[in-house]
């Protein structure tokens, strides 16, 4: 199915098994991870159209760029005693 899409570089697929209603199914985990650090990976993300969820406030956060994301993520991590940061509900790639 993914052969029909153009996906930004620095992605990986990991095979695993999924137990669903008693049946073991083949399953693939998709990881989007650049090898040159968070800033380079962020160049693939359209922050304006992405939705970011804060587990602390249980609300969506909208940011315009990576710098704003870093600031909001650090705030979320501080609020959770560095237990958890922001999560993407929807990540839009460029």
Note the pLDDT tens digit of each residue in 65-75.
988 998 998 88
Average pLDDT over residues 53-70: 90
| Whole-structure pTM value | 0.57
CA distance 12 to 73: 24
Nearest to 92, CA basis, from 71, 67, 56, 64: 64
Mean per-residue pLDDT for 10-15? 72
**pLDDT value for 77:** 85
pLDDT of res. 80: 77
Report the distance separating Cα 15 and Cα 18, nearest Å: 10
Could you tell me the residue ranges of all domains in the chain?
2-90
% of the chain with per-residue pLDDT over 90: 23
pLDDT higher for 41 or 22?
22
């Amino acid at each position: 199915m993914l052969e029909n899409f153009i996906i930004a570089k620095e992605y990986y697929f990991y095979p695993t098994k999924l137990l669903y209603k008693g049946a073991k199914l083949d399953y693939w985990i998709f990881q989007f991870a650049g090898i040159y650090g968070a800033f380079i990976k962020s160049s693939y993300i359209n922050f304006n159209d992405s939705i970011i969820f804060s587990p602390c406030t249980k609300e969506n956060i909208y940011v315009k760029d990576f710098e704003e994301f870093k600031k909001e993520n650090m705030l979320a991590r501080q609020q959770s005693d560095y237990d958890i940061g922001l999560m993407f509900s929807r990540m839009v790639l460029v």
